Chain A
Amino acid sequence: MATGGGTGGGLGDAYKHHAQLGVCESRAKYREGRRPRAVKVYTINLESRYLLIQGVPALGVMKELVEQFALYGAIEEYHALDEYPAEQFTEVYLIKFQKLQCARVAKKKMDERSFFGSLLHVCYAPEFETVQETREKLQDRRKYIAKATNQRDCFVLKKVEGPEKTVSKNSDCPWSIPRSCVTGNWDPSCCTSSHRVSQNTGCPSGNHNRSLLTFPQYGNNCAETSGYFGQSTSLTLNVQPGRCPPPAPLTQQRTVPVDNGVDRFMPRTTHLQERKRKREEGNKFSLIGTSVDNTEVIIGPQLPELPKVDMDDDSLNTSATLIRNKLKEVADSVSRTSVEKLETSSAKPPVKQRRRI
């Protein structure tokens, strides 16, 4: 067992727990994996939504680091661990994902990856979990197995809904529940206690929890993987049996609002496209002249109408109008793109500056 004081992050047992084990050199041929690995058994206890990232060069690249990790799923919290022992000129960061599955993928993809010229060491950091987070993690594993093996072995946990660890310290009320409810293959009919109402009774869920947690950009990553694992690590939210719970309580409870992260990592191209779209819409309304034709956008003061040339033939006249309109369109788009180019180029310098810092 570990030594050292466990205040805050429980750094006491971090040293041993996170020391990278030596690679196993003596594996039989048929047991060799694609990558050299140490001999280690992973259990749910070792996994976590918290990832510890060691070996980050001390170059002020936190933003870039978090951006990299956000590719694998929504990040709930991140910060540097200044007090954590680190190699010279490197820093240690802690990143908390919203879902265990995303942390899993991120660890797999980012461990031993080169980052600004240094190799990252990524490991799970369950010692940063609260009691409630540990409880939820264990409960999610239970649900996942029940689902994967098609067993309705729902062990309903008390206090799943309480997001804070302080909730769990009460000693009087939960015990009015008949014990058989709490353990094993309980019979739902026996659970009539009122404080159970808001709990996730019955179904091994995960699906509808997921829907409220996926975000536009990262949804794909999560969906792809958790489709297989079907785990949802975020039961804290007061998820009612209803299908579409509002996402608001989630963001309120967290120390770092999730929206922030998402906003921040919205791809620049999307930003630009969005801006362009809005501008075009605005143009349409403000600059539409006297023309009734909606597709025709006229820029600038209206010139006196060109004298219409009569070709003495209906069909020829139609063609002439078509050609005229086409010419107008082309001329319009040319002038518009030049305006855009100006705007985008004026928008770019700040980005480059940010990179250099």
Chain B
Amino acid sequence: MSLASRVGLRLEPRVDNPRWMNWAVPVCSFIAALLVGSIVLLITSQNPISVYQRILERGFLDTGSLSGTFISATPLLFTGLCAAVAFKVGFFNIGGEGQFYVGAIFASGIALSLGADAQSWIAVGAMVLAGTVGGALWAFIPGILRAYFRTNEIITSLMLNYVAGIGATYLIFESDSFWRELGGTGAVFPKGKIIPLSAQWPSFDLGNLVVPFGLLLGAVVAIWLHVLQRRTRFGYEMRVVGGAPSTARYAGMRPARVIVAVAMLSGGLAGLGGAADVGNFRHVLDPKGLQQSGFGYAGIVVAALARLNPIAVVFVAIILGGITNAGYALQGPDFPAGLVGTLEGLILFCTLGGEVLVRYRIVNTRRQAVAS
């Protein structure tokens, strides 16, 4: 018998859905996660109040901190959209990580091959396209395997993350590839070629705040996805396939095709994130940096917290981007690495638990039994 039923509690599906719960429950879940997190911090003899205060300051409040937060939020925005779109149709693509790498490989490749003489808008446009295509192709593999060969996409997409990581490492560390800088210090320490200035994505300086082009592009893509899901035929098919695959088949849709299309859309979004990461920030193919950041996995947290809603993904990406950015800025003995992921995991656990309160009412069966 579970703990809940032992103390006489039972979950009952809600008939009414009070509006205030839609914001109150996530907020309370977030606070609950911070409380649980402070227990972890106390056990490991850290001061929770000062840790949270420093995250808030370095992530959002200090001058210039929001600009740094936007940099961390940009990749999370794209990988968050990647997971949100796919999970919505029940295609659990957790290969956003690998699709992000492949996007970065394609985008840096095209930027390097266009060279320094290309016009800026052509170079940036080509990178957007190449990154998207790269990610989409990488996601095509688990998509087609799931749709036509009934193979579990969770495992295949995840295995491809490792393959993509090994591939990127090979290009820079184990071969004399086109991506690798062979002259200068690159002859001693393996590193990638820096993309030409004309291919580096612009950022918009608003005085105290620098907004990267990638973030704006991501926000536009999020709105486009929202429209795609709500207002188009394809969006309708996605909803039906996600909700009831057999109904979709009876209605004359082709669920397999929809799944492959969604897989490629999802992978394309992650690949575009990889392009933005190279174009806006790193300016180089950096396999170690990519694999340490783990943007693809964090994107799953973003999507789940945003309840798979593309518009909400934008805001959640900025919040988690702030925590990530604070993590980079504060890393040291008082702020050990791994704290950010721990907090993200706790926030996700509490939100998942909290969502139950939106769907169900907790009924005290003991009292009911006495009353009847």
**Does B associate with A?**
no
Interface residues of A (CB under 8 A from B): none
Interface residues of B (CB under 8 A from A): none
